[in-house]
Amino acid sequence: MRIAPFARLPRPLRWFARLLVLLLVLALLLAGVVVWSVRRAFPQLDGELKAPGLSANVSVYRDKYGVPHLYADTPEDLFFAQGFVHAQDRFWEMDFRRKTTAGRLSELFGKATLDTDKVIRTMGWRRVAEQELSILNPRTRAYLDRYAAGVNAWMKATPGKSLEYSVLKLTNRDYEPEPWTAVDSLAWLKAMAWDLRSNMEDELARAIAATAVPRQRAEELWPRYPYELNSPIVSEVNQARATSAALTPIPEESRDALARAARAVRAAPDLIGTDGDNSGIGSNSWVVSGAHTVSGKPLLANDPHLSPHMPSTWYQMGLHCRERSESCPFDLTGFTFAGLPSVVIGHNHRIAWGFTNLGPDVSDIYLERLRGQEYQYRDGWKPLETRTERIKVAGGETVTLTVRETGHGPLLSDVLGTAKRAIPGAAKALNEPDEEKEYGVALRWTALDPGRTADALFLMGTAENWDSFRAAAKSFEVPAQNLVYADVDGTIGYQAPGRIPVRSGGGDGAWPAAGWTGQVEWTGWVPYEKLPTQRDPVRGYIVTANNAATGPSTTPQLTRDWSYGYRSQRIIDRLKQAIQKGKVDAATMSSIQRDSRNAFAPELTRYLLNPDLKLAGPVKRAVKLFDGWDFGQSKDSAAAAYYNAVWRHLLIRTFNDELPEGARPDGGDQWYEVLRPLLAEPSDPWWDDVKTKGVQESRDQILLLALEDAFDELSDRLGPDPSRWAWGDLHSLTLTNDTFGTSGIAPIEWLFNRGPLRVDGGKDAVDAAGWNVQRGYDVTAVPSMRMVVDLADMDQSRWINLTGASGHAFHDNYWDQAGLWADGKTIPMRSRPESVRREAVNTLTLTP
């Protein structure tokens, strides 16, 4: 006999029980749908899988971290398979990236991304990529096409895409991704160049600062590079100093134009940068010759500092010809970008290389005088070039954007508003006739000229010695980089490739130029032969960390805006210590990568511990944290927590009262050199708070207030006992998905985001987990990967990625490397075929 459920319950409880069961059933069904949506997109990792377009089988071996090694008979099949495997793990990321670089995000997300699309369309990233395709080496073009064919083969074979597409259907049911093209890959190089664009923000910030304080005081905020403290990469210290060109004054009335241009820059996407704050972008790389290593062969280390992304910016991969030959020369292991063929950083069977950002001045801001649809140039008026961009908006109407350009480039000041009255009063400030004019701000940038960087990716991957590597690097035009090199024969080297402008009129690119004068123009590029280079230096090591590449009197001048060299000098000091104690090994290199020492803390704490400050009460007890502190910034350090809070409040109190937004301190090593002379001048005007009328604050008053502000903040956040404070409780990293991770809908964010992780290090420590004093302590830039290559035995190399190989939420490899990364650990970087096969947990054969 069947018994009806709940029959013996009172009627009200009976209905409640039935409702509860219904809700549970619906919850289970929803959970089942979510699980199905998640798992259906997981790639096939074992057995055989048809990939029409291949000429022969390709083997794909994956280790327990999901890192794939591909083995093929021809380069064409190898790059076809790379596109297929990239798409297996990261297609949503690839699709999102190409929509971003084409200025088409609004097709996915509606009007929320319209400003971003407008900025990208104004600069024309994809238009430039289309022009590049025709000037590339035919072999490069063929590889790009084969990569695209591999992506498209995956698309045809895989009806179920990733979870992101299921979520997107909730608001945009009509979206379907289109086939991949070679231009989709090339356009990614524009995003890379944008995020490594060097001093564009410095140029704007200088001009904005000069609208609020006198030019001389604004110059104090960008001090000279401290050559007496921190060595350049290749030159001996030379105390001569380059001079600036004569400049058109920056009128106070120009602030609106400059601020609008700055807003346009911030609205552009930062796919590897730091959310409009480019100050955290950097990298460490160094190479040690066999004279100083245990094995007698070189060691090479690299850790690029980029914004944290989920999934991570990088994708680890091996690309191998089964039989290496002239017709199939590839044997690569390293870090790739999903959406771009070849390996960007890593090694082949003979050489290894790493990147850091050179940071030369490759962009200029021009103030332009406008009249209707004309702009003034010297003694005449020229027509503005115009083009129309149509931006499709999901759930809305197509938006028409008119882009205007002068001979210097697109008008950024047009993007988020009209150019009219962009610089009101500028004529008066520049001692010109008093008449109404319009002004705009144009961008000249090397990445807006077609280039051949894609050629370099394949040429570097097949180089076998220093000469062929240098010849390959010549094509790496944008972004300009520092390259460190080592090979199995024992050679180490450094080369700075890149397209760097030569300016007329003595211009150095540090300040905006008056475009109508024609006095500061780009007249060509610095010849490759004159760019910094070095081979086998006597000291036996080469260190690059965005520090000055050359001495101050060296010509050509590449920039005024280097990073100030504290990371590079700390690496040099650590290497010297290690060499004095014995020989360097891979563990030494990894240890240096994790060095968290704050280089300015010894200087500032001398003043914080000064008894003349007359500290009292709990603040006095908190300051005792600095007694005996080694200046390391481990996540468990109480002293690091308090010091960084003091640093934050000190900069805000000292400078925010006078500097407008866009010119305020971010907390990086630029501000070490700003503060160093100020600390020796107790009555310098910067210490005064201009908001307190009739009161002249001194250094010690501001230091005391900063100590109190920091104590109050940490007491509220971490409790009243300073000994229980910990830097990692402030300085944490949430791995946030680039698309749905900030949706504002908690369940969706839970699907895609991971963390938080407590993190060591700090801005401009070697372990450069950056943060911005204006925003708080959350991590905004990270060592996005770490790699140590052992040229004695490539198979003993080590690496780590920020998150993991997979872009699929809830896949085992979605963020399985993140915990290891946060603890400073690495995993084996295998490359020998026998090692790859031995450690494979999945083996897939792609068949024609």
Count of alpha carbons within 13 angstroms of residue 836, beta-carbon side:
23
Q: Where would I find the beta strands (DSSP E) of 258-397?
A: 282-288, 299-306, 315-321, 331-336, 345-347, 351-357, 363-371, 374-377, 380-383, 385-391
The dihedrals phi and psi of 486, each to the nearest 5 degrees, come to -150, 150
Closest CA to 423 of 377, 364, 365, 379: 365
Q: Are 131 and 450 in contact (CB under 8 A)?
A: yes
Q: What does the block give as tokens for 266?
A: 């911030």
Cα separation, 196 vs 359, whole angstroms: 7
Angle at 93 between CA 167 and CA 260, to 5 degrees: 95
Distance CA 295, CA 135 (A): 44
Residue 775's nearest CA partner among 661, 636, 688, 657 is 661
Burial class (CB in 10 A: 0-12, 13-18, 19+), 224: middle
Two tokens, residue 661 = 């937004």
Nearest to 237 by CA among 617, 552, 651: 552
- In angstroms, the CA 452 to CA 186 distance is 10
Q: CA 444, CA 102: separation in Å to the nearest integer?
A: 19
Q: Which of 312, 305, 315, 309 is nearest to 357 (CA)?
A: 305
Rounded CA-CA distance 810/813 in Å is: 8
Strands 385-391 and 380-383: unpaired
Radius of gyration of the chain (CA): 28
Distance CA 186, CA 191 (A): 10
Whether the CB-CB separation of 496 and 481 falls below 8 Å is answered with: yes
Within 510-563, strands assigned E span 513-514, 522-525, 533-535, 541-544
Taking the CB of residue 63, how many other CB atoms lie within 10 A of it?
Answer: 21
- ∠ CA(686), CA(688), CA(689), 5° rounding? 110
Which one is catalytic: 283, 289, 568, 634? Answer: 283
d(CA 715, CA 196): 38
Reading the block at residue 766, the tokens are: 């070697």
Binding-site residues for Ca(2+), in ranges, read 203, 361, 364
- Residue appearing with tokens 């890379």: 192
Residue type, 644: N
The question of whether 279 is a catalytic residue gets the answer no
Give the position of tokens 């000064």.
610
Residue numbering of the annotated binding site: 203, 361, 364
The distance in angstroms from the start CA to the end CA of the chain is: 60
Closest by CA to 792, choosing from 289, 69, 286, 67, is 289
Q: Which two tokens stand for residue 775?
A: 């925003």
For the four alpha carbons of 628, 230, 766 and 645, in that order, the dihedral sign comes to: positive
CA atoms within 13 A on the CB side of 517: 16
**Among all residues, which ones are annotated catalytic?**
283
